Amino acid sequence: MTIARKALLPVLALLVIGGTAQAQEWGYPPDDGYYQDDGLSRPRQWRDPQPTYRADRSFEEPYDYQEDPYGYYGDQDGDVTPGRRPQRQASIDPNSVSPNLDSGTKDDGQAMLARSPIPRTVVPFSGYSPGTIVISTKEKRLYLVQDDGTALRYGIGVGKQGFTWKGTETISRKAEWPSWTPPKEMIARRPELPDHMEGGLNNPLGARALYLGSTLYRIHGTNEPNTIGRAVSSGCIRMANPDVMDLYQRVGVGATVVVL
């Protein structure tokens, strides 16, 4: 029995070698459990290897790109060096420092020199009670209704796209050389703005301001008279300083303002 077994071993070895050679000749793929071995060779669908990441604690910890707490930007490989913003953060940050901006002097004579590019005129006007202020944001004009069927027409600057509004308000307060405290929403958009600025020729509110109800909107002067006739503001109505000073002395608290 032992002799027969020894005689069969070379025969079995030849059969195994021949089967392997035949499998290589016909291109049978190795059985990796993905394809059924039906005797046909199939092209392998190679896939990109899975990405690997550094075993670094910074990948697990919150990462702030330019003080972005949400971690939308993660530079774990260090190929980009984030720099701090050139301006300070918004004033809602208690550690921020406002820039030192000079508000300028309060000088009515100097303010009267800033002429509007749109001259003030008298035009026929009806449909509203005398003393009413009618603002056409489309025309970029402000009308002060008179009692003789006319209106004083002033050139104005209005809110840029996304900041326009319509409605009826009343003048709730008047101020000469108003101070300016930008709202947090504005500072978030423009971090270079100061937290507060006293009145003066360099103040964006100009020489006079008429506050509209309890809103954040105002009719006010400007230190940029070249913006009159354009849509550039965050919703307030801008006038050249000579025009807003003229309007200021003609209307009182409680006057109706209609914004179209």
Tell me whether residue 196 is one of the annotated catalytic residues: no
Q: Choosing from 144, 152, 219, 236, which is the catalytic residue? A: 236
Structure tokens, 114: 């800033």
Torsion over CA: 105, 110, 111, 117 (sign): negative
Q: Choosing from 220, 235, 239, 245, which is the catalytic residue? A: 220
Tell me whether residue 158 is one of the annotated catalytic residues: no
**Is the CB of residue 135 less than 8 Å from the CB of residue 167?**
no
| Ramachandran bin of 57, using left for φ above 0, alpha for ψ from -120 to 50, beta for the remaining angles | alpha
* C-alpha triplet 65, 190, 101: angle, nearest 5°: 120
Question: Could you tell me where the beta strands, DSSP code E, fall in the chain?
Answer: 121-124, 133-136, 141-145, 150-155, 158-159, 167-176, 208-212, 218-220, 231-233, 237-238, 256-259
Active site members: 220, 236
